[in-house]
Structure 1
């Protein structure tokens, strides 16, 4: 009886090999697609910096990309939400055309100066290619879900160089408050393979410097005053995430009501972005914002340095990104959220008289944790990007921000598994 209840080790090994056979190809194509995307993204970013006059083409480029999606997208414009819906309830599948469309659309957005990120592109490419592989291999429906989750993990892990985060993100983002451990091995394999593949193509990721003294040990000792300040900052990060998600959805609905023909919506957004550039007299809030396009400019990297941002940098980046993505340009929300969080954290570090680099790192991960409702993945991201020394503070920032961000998020297809607050009696 006991032998019948307990699977044999050979059965477990066979299952592990089957999952690996599903996930390794996904990781290879997802990592390669991310490498191609990051290489091309670097080129268009440098091209725009060299030719700033390209920003005048933003409305026209937006119309062209909008028309491509309108004419050929067939649901692809839903992006990450389409992937999540297919994992929740398989339906028409994820079209293979999503990968080239989102790649082209994101590159045009960045070439012309739109404020957008890269996570959405990598995840959609990974998921779209995973769906294509599932159809080629004639994978059973129950395993197609695992392959789509593996595609999300491969894209996310490869584009940021954070394989553990990519695996946990793919399990955590689908249902708020629950982890889908069914896909534990496939997403881990796919994310690791995707990251290794992307690196093998010669892609290098940005290094962020969070100073830790050599004698400090592996983990920072708990300082209760600092912990209290981190908790207060995390409330601000959570409210910022809530504000960003709510305004993004409101702007998308408003644009749909204002402009009935979808391809024309990015033209309106492009004109507003151009107006903002000349109103503020700076281009610091265009593009990714990882590194500044001028000496002394504001960027994610500069937010880790004293005096590297202005008091309202977080607000201006929020506005530029909301207009860009809310009007229909392509790209992700995550890197702009890193910018918003790190610059807001910088200001809170000054307010609390604490190291600005530490609070920039906290904001970097915590605003995203609240906006995506993925506190565990973002805690691991903090460790992968900045080291384990401040891991307790990373966890506090991400989990408190998650609690205060409400039940909305940047992904409308995300389901609520466990409410953040118990029902009122």
Structure 2
């Protein structure tokens, strides 16, 4: 009797696999193609902004344009990632298909005129809105629609960074602190994997980051120990700093949004003011390195994510300025995302910590890259996997230590309002 029951269980699992493969394939192809288009257009507008620096002076006008686009065409799409997460928690009005063109256009506007923003928010929102559209067409029940929305998030995240495994786990882990729903694990992985393949098939190539081999780094610090205890302590200390940076970013962004709407009574003046502040800060600092994505710099010896992996590639305060620019940009209503700027903040902070402590600069920049993200989003498992997918598995122990330390020291703050706290980080139920 047990053997018969087991056979039926395996058949049920097989049918489940076929079902979600059929659902995930069109979603992944659609989302992967949209992400490829987005990344191609993003590269074009970034190049245009770098060639025409005067475009920055139109950033306040761009912010007002974004405000009215969402006011008259956006409706509930304004909530972005939080709307998708709310729909996964408690299905209600649905995720509108108009979210895709709106977030695509407004993110490109933000980057064209110099806003400091990312790209994951756009990819995740396109994934979620397309999942909502397909779910409506297929007339899925609430349970299956929730899973498809998670798969859409995974597809967008996995394709935009070229990290499908991270995308799958991120979509599950980000929803609630202290709980991961494994029901959607397979659909999320299938969608993220196929979306990444689709995006790559369109000729999109992601930035390559490299960290020196373990033996070279260890020999530089403590050649007579197989396990580098001193480096481990430096990583723990850095993890605390990364967590605090993630906390600071989340709280600053939230407070800028809260108090700007509280004290500026005319709503469209909020992005206008935000754009003006970004212009003033850029002129005062005398550099445009903190505008846009920040993956690379248009200037020789400029600060960027890539430069942060090199000695002297980031100053001691570069991470703070990118944090401030991004918090103002996102907090005053511009669109895009926070994750790529978080990579910049973490890599630059890691560079500064490595310079002060004598740790390997490329390793510490890589740890900051993933750990500040882990702290700001409360997703340490996904970020540990991201380290493996981006930098290789040789430093997996250090990835995990940095990400989990940052996760704990970021408190219960996070960049996503809809993220639920199912249990505190000390183990108590919420």
Structures share fold, TM-score greater than 0.5? yes
Going from structure 1 to structure 2, the CA distance change for 1:327 and 1:216 (only over 3 Å counts) comes to closer
Instruction: Give distance in 2, aligned partners of 1:215 and 1:57.
Output: 48
Within a 5 Å distance, the mapping from 1:22-421 to structure 2 comes to 22-212=23-213, 222-421=227-426
Deviations 1:83-126 (A, max 9, x none): 00000000000011111100001000000000000000000011
Q: Is the 8 A contact 2:217 2:360 kept in 1?
A: no
Secondary structure of 1:262's aligned partner = coil
Deviation at 1:4, TM superposition (A): 6.2
CA contact (8 A) 1:105 1:330 kept: yes
Q: CA deviation at 1:209?
A: 1.7
Tell me, in whole angstroms, the C-alpha distance in 1 between the residues paired with 2:318 and 2:43.
23
| Distance across 2 between alignment mates of 1:249 and 1:15 | 40
Distance 1:107 1:221 in 2: 49
Deviation at 1:262, TM superposition (A): 3.0
**Change in 2 beyond 3 A, CA 1:341/1:308:** same
1:65–1:263 CA contact under 8 A, matched in 2? no
C-alpha distance after superposition, 1:310-334 (max 9, x if no partner): 1110011011111111000001000
Q: Whole-Å Cα distance in 2 between the matches of residues 347 and 64 of structure 1? A: 38
Q: CA deviation at 1:265?
A: 1.4
Cα shift readout 1:117-136 (whole Å, capped 9, x = no counterpart):
00000000110011001111
Q: Distance in 1 between matches of 2:238 and 2:344?
A: 16
Q: Is the 8 A contact 1:366 1:398 kept in 2?
A: yes
Q: Structure 1 residues 20-29 or 290-299, which shifts more?
A: 20-29
Instruction: Output one character per residue of 1:211-270: Cα deviation in whole Å (capped at 9) or x when no partner.
Output: 1168899xx953111111100100010011111111111111011112234333111100
- The CA deviation at 1:175 is 0.6
Deviation at 1:141, TM superposition (A): 1.5
Confirm or deny: 8 A CA contact 2:214 2:395 kept in the other structure. no
Unaligned stretches of 5+ residues in structure 2: 219-224
The number of aligned residues is 422
Q: Distance in 2 between matches of 1:221 and 1:363?
A: 24
Distance, in Å, in 2 between the alignment partners of 1:421 and 1:131 is: 35
Give distance in 2, aligned partners of 1:267 and 1:391: 44
* Structure 1, gaps ≥5 residues long: none
TM-score (ref. length: structure 2): 0.96
1:3 offset after TM fit, Å? 4.8
1:159-195 Cα distance to aligned partner (Å, 9 max, x none) = 0000000000011000112111010110000000010
**Is the CA contact (8 Å cut-off) linking 1:153 and 1:166 kept in structure 2?**
yes
Map of 2:221 onto structure 1: none
Matches of 2:363 and 2:227, distance apart in 1? 14
Cα–Cα, structure 1 residues 221 and 401, in superposed 2: closer, same or farther, change >3 Å?
Answer: farther
TM-score w.r.t. the length of structure 1 is 0.97
CA contact (8 A) 2:214 2:394 kept: no
1:2 aligns with 2:2: yes
**Structure 2: distance between partners of 1:344 and 1:71:** 40
Q: Give the RMSD, CA atoms, in angstroms.
A: 1.6
Separation (CA, whole Å) in 2 of partners of 1:67 and 1:410: 24
Question: CA 1:151–1:261 in structure 2 vs 1: closer, same or farther (change >3 Å)?
Answer: farther
C-alpha distance in 2 between matches for 1:297 and 1:156: 28
Cα distance in 2, alignment partners of residues 8 and 403 from structure 1: 39
- How far the C-alpha of 1:2 sits from its partner, in A, is 2.3
Q: 1:367 to 1:153 in 2, by over 3 A?
A: same
Confirm or deny: 8 A CA contact 1:48 1:54 kept in the other structure. Answer: yes
